[in-house]
Amino acid sequence: MDDFYGVFIVAGVLAVQYFFSTRNSIYWGAVIPVSYIVFLTWMLVTNRIESTIGFILSLLLGILFLIAEWNGGRKYLHKKRRKELDKMKTHDMK
């Protein structure tokens, strides 16, 4: 049952990461990855993660997914801006 909730938590975090990545400021997309690094480091220091290899794998895999979401959000933002500019250009030509 915990895995069931874990999937929803991960999906929610990735959705928030995508949302932050689509904001005008590029720095909003860094909030969750930095928080993730701090959280995992805290878990390692307090011995909640016992294996250093497990820590490194979790860190790399999590950061990989968060950066992929960030990249997708930035591409969406650029595409949206390009559409708006194209609409403005076609409206100005009339």
Domain boundaries along the sequence of the chain: 2-93
The model's confidence at residue 84, banded by pLDDT at 50, 70 and 90, is very high
Amino acid at 55: F
77, burial (CB in 10 Å: exposed 0-12, middle 13-18, buried 19+): middle
Each residue's pLDDT tens digit, 31-66: 999 999 999 999 999 999 989 999 999 999 999 999
CA distances from 90 to 11, 66, 80 (A): 39, 36, 16
pLDDT for 1 equals: 64
Determine the Cα–Cα distance for residues 87 and 11; give it in Å rounded to an integer: 34
